[in-house]
Amino acid sequence: MISSDYTRSLFLTDSDTRIVLLVVDGLGGLPHSETGRSELETANLPHLDALCARGSSGLISPLGPGFTPGSGPAHLALFGYDPWTTAIGRGALSGLGLGLDFEPGDVAARLNFCTVDGAGKVTDRRAGRIPTELCEQLCALLQQISIPGIEVTVAPEMEYRAAVIFRGPGLSDGVTDSDPQVTGQAPLPLQASSATDERMVEVANEFLSQVGKILVEQSPANMVLIRGFGRYPELPSMQQVYGLHPVGIAGYPMYRGIASVVGMDTPETDWDVDAEFDLLQQRWRTCAEEDFYYVHVKKTDSAGEDGDFDKKVHLLQELDARIPRILELEPDVLIVTGDHSTPSVMGGHSWHPVPTVIASKAGFPMPEAQLTERSCAAGALGQIPSTALMALALAHAQRLAKFGA
Amino acid sequence: MISSDYTRSLFLTDSDTRIVLLVVDGLGGLPHSETGRSELETANLPHLDALCARGSSGLISPLGPGFTPGSGPAHLALFGYDPWTTAIGRGALSGLGLGLDFEPGDVAARLNFCTVDGAGKVTDRRAGRIPTELCEQLCALLQQISIPGIEVTVAPEMEYRAAVIFRGPGLSDGVTDSDPQVTGQAPLPLQASSATDERMVEVANEFLSQVGKILVEQSPANMVLIRGFGRYPELPSMQQVYGLHPVGIAGYPMYRGIASVVGMDTPETDWDVDAEFDLLQQRWRTCAEEDFYYVHVKKTDSAGEDGDFDKKVHLLQELDARIPRILELEPDVLIVTGDHSTPSVMGGHSWHPVPTVIASKAGFPMPEAQLTERSCAAGALGQIPSTALMALALAHAQRLAKFGA
């Protein structure tokens, strides 16, 4: 609804209010089995709790009850885009995640280095999990590939994983994978979904043919499997939809990638919170036109994924101590939330809704409120979809007109 | 969303976790005018409250705020099917409700015994509310009806109500009712919605013609009105949608009927909770493949319908005392909820959302929580549609993959 025809005319573009959306990755958690308290309940978070006491708190759900999102859909929901229908292909996410030169019209795909025998049959789909350094060397070798009219970029990820980006006229992503998913079979022939995808199949086959020749002596990584073809996602930008001038501040390339897909300016920065907050302060003070700041904190999610409850608590406290650095900018609206929950006790993303606070002059303060799962469950915002957050952000920033007379 | 193309690939079918969905019919209530406490608040329910304390509680709404469901839509919502668009015709519900031999391709309709005068005009649409015994005798008479190529089954319901099932090639349900809704008029001629429904009109007219001849001397019940034509509902099964092997344990035939429509195995059992729990335990221990158990408790709803507050309280306490029989099976997920609320003070179904608890290892315990309307309103699940419950059930059973990367 947020970006529908009904709402688009309601967004006020002549406002000078400014919004900070601080996304603490994997923010929500679950109780520790010994203490019965979650990470947020265990941590001492005086600044975040004070925000809840003076702001409006609640829980947001990226995909609705029960469904666990990846980072891509979870962020799209935060930015107000339907996470179910705004799918971004795996290849495209890799391209974005690596921070590669990846633009509208380009097609990305994932590559796995693999081992094939003399008959061309796959004997190891991961090439013995070659180290990342070797992956980097092999990707450099593959840069010699030349296809007339097409620019090819091959970039390493972790271990045996890499990505390729094709640039040129007439490319598309309706192409099947070559990965047979089992060993003892040859890679599958690529198939076009429709006639318009045949050029892409032709280009990808030429790519695979040259890969085979270049890698022939490089056993165990003497071939690649290709999968997850995906075009650069072409979405209406946040400027088009909301009339905002958004900036994405994220150390980790994938989040800059997702931010750029929705039209944010995405200056490079280091991973750590101090570097990100330095950049926020600098942009805030020097770029008067910018009015929406997405700031991404990654390490809390990693701690949750690692099942490291104490580390997540520690990182939350470190973050809390730095909240005054945002407050001193006096944003009209400060939202602190997460893209999804990553309970340490589960060691991964989960479906549990995410504690959220919106601090502005139009909030509904609850003096006892805290930024915890249980407190936010009883907050003034209620339990709402993550996609509803942007409308609330704009409303609190007085950037949303009345609908109807 | 639960059964959409987006979500279907997320259901993990190789899990060995097992889910029990205990549906306490008409569970929710309203406060007694003298005590200010609802049925659930009045009853002493130590086991159900303990489930809430260690699980996640909330309120579920079958049709959204304000809309009161019948048992059919309420159950479809619980099983994750859209209760608004997954309509099951009244006739089909009757066929299911009577536990008749009713299969895909069959068409059912409701019959009301009525009185017609010498000119064929309806003088009493309910034939003086004949007793059920007479209804049974008349239905037996009508079994002599013979239509070439068509199998006809007539079955009594309560008082003047009965149902008919037609089986044979070319039948359909786009047929209008014959009930004129007022007295002093002849039954309305049946009309086909389209050319494909003409065969059904022909069959139904032949049926009505033979009914008229058989009943001519049976005043006051000397004719029937026919209405609510409905095909056997052909829905994707829970096995197709969720990859589950579901069993429906319900003493009352109508609930076995609804369960079988969504693909559950529905062994017969008696009405009482002990018999149902015996069957649950037996299936649990002998059928290793089964992984989803819907168990239906009927009498709480009947007490609410009768306006018998104290009886509903008593039945809730009887049920609570038997909850350990489920707990000893150690299900990975135990959900206790209702299909809808039936407040004794209203003497009927209502729109009020239904107290619900999900107990699993991934819950968000609230030590003070109870299975009451007021406590669940502040629960960790929030207030959600009943259709969201299946995704939560699967998530808590670790049967739902992450969406997107």
Overall CATH class of domain B5-86+235-396: alpha beta
Q: Give the pLDDT confidence score for residue B267 in this predicted structure.
A: 93
Name every chain B residue with its beta carbon within 8 A of the beta carbon of A348: 402
> Which of A25, A158, A351 best tests the B interface by mutation, with the highest count of B CBs <10 A?
A351
Apex B362 CA angle, A69 and B390, nearest 5: 65
In B, what residues contact A, Cβ < 8 A?
A: 1, 4, 6-7, 10, 362, 364-367, 378-384, 388-395, 400-405
pLDDT less than 50: residues of chain A: 1
Name every chain A residue with its beta carbon within 8 A of the beta carbon of B365: 31, 36
> In chain A, which residue's Cα lies nearest the Cα of B57?
A377
> What would the pLDDT profile of A304-320 be if each residue is shown by its tens digit?
999 999 999 999 999 99
Q: Give the pLDDT confidence score for residue B3 in this predicted structure.
A: 54
- Give the model's confidence band at B9: pLDDT under 50 very low, under 70 low, under 90 confident, else very high: confident
Name every chain B residue with its beta carbon within 8 A of the beta carbon of A70: 402-405
- Give the model's confidence band at B1: pLDDT under 50 very low, under 70 low, under 90 confident, else very high: very low
Minimum mean pLDDT among A88-97, A192-201, B225-234, B331-340: which range? A88-97
A83:B403 CB<8 A: yes
A36:B365 CB<8 A: yes
Percentage of the residues of chain B whose pLDDT score is greater than 70? 98
- Complete DSSP assignment for B141-189: HHTT--BTTBEEEEEE-STTEEEEEEESTT----B-----SSSSSPPPP
Task: For domain A5-86+236-396, give the fold.
Answer: Alkaline Phosphatase, subunit A (3.40.720)
A351:B7 CB<8 A: no
Q: From CA B119, how far away is CA B196, in angstroms rounded?
A: 32
Instruction: Provide the 10 A C-beta neighbour count for residue A33.
Output: 9
Task: For domain A92-231, give the fold.
Answer: Alpha-Beta Plaits (3.30.70)
Q: Give the pLDDT confidence score for residue A96 in this predicted structure.
A: 77
Gap from A31 CA to chain B (nearest CA, Å): 7
Chains A & B: contacts with CB separation below 8 Å: 91
Q: Give the pLDDT confidence score for residue A1 in this predicted structure.
A: 44
Q: From CA B196, how far away is CA B116, in angstroms rounded?
A: 31
Gap from B209 CA to chain A (nearest CA, Å): 53
Name every chain A residue with its beta carbon within 8 A of the beta carbon of B383: 382-383
Higher pLDDT, B175 or B1: B175
- Complete DSSP assignment for A327-395: HTT--SEEEEE-SSB--TTTTS-B-S-EEEEEESTT----TT--SSHHHHHTSTTEEEEGGGHHHHHHH
Q: Is the dihedral of CA A269, A275, A280, A285 positive or negative?
A: negative
Q: Closest to A63 (Cβ–Cβ): which among B366, B394, B403?
A: B403
Q: Give the pLDDT confidence score for residue B133 in this predicted structure.
A: 95
The gap from C-alpha B350 to its chain's centroid, in whole angstroms, comes to 15
Q: Closest to B388 (Cβ–Cβ): which among A66, A346, A352?
A: A66
Q: What is the DSSP letter of A111?
A: E
Q: From CA A387, how far away is CA B317, in angstroms rounded?
A: 42
A66:B390 CB<8 A: yes
What single-letter amino acid sits at A362?
A: A
pLDDT at B277 over 90: yes
Q: From CA B304, how far away is CA B296, in angstroms rounded?
A: 16
Apex B7 CA angle, B5 and B8, nearest 5: 70
Name every chain B residue with its beta carbon within 8 A of the beta carbon of A73: 403-404
Gap from B378 CA to chain A (nearest CA, Å): 6
A70:B405 CB<8 A: yes
Name every chain A residue with its beta carbon within 8 A of the beta carbon of B395: 65-68, 350-351
**Direct distance between the N- and C-terminal alpha carbons of chain A, in angstroms, rounded to an integer:** 20
Contact A159, A132 (CB under 8 A): yes
B378:A377 CB<8 A: yes
Q: What is the DSSP letter of B354?
A: E
Name every chain A residue with its beta carbon within 8 A of the beta carbon of B379: 377
B404:A59 CB<8 A: no
The pLDDT of B63-76, averaged and rounded, is 94
B364:A30 CB<8 A: yes
Give me A226's structure tokens. Answer: 């290709």
A351:B4 CB<8 A: no
Q: From CA B335, how far away is CA B389, in angstroms rounded?
A: 9
Q: Closest to B402 (Cβ–Cβ): which among A349, A373, A382?
A: A349
Gap from B367 CA to chain A (nearest CA, Å): 10
Domain ranges for chain A, please list them: 5-86+236-396, 92-231
Gap from B220 CA to chain A (nearest CA, Å): 55
pLDDT at B123 over 50: yes
Q: Give the pLDDT confidence score for residue B13 in this predicted structure.
A: 77
Q: Do domains A5-86+236-396 and A92-231 have the same CATH topology?
A: no
A93:B405 CB<8 A: yes
A349:B401 CB<8 A: no
Strand order in the sheet with A382-385: A246-249, A292-297, A19-24, A333-337, A354-359, A56-61, A382-385
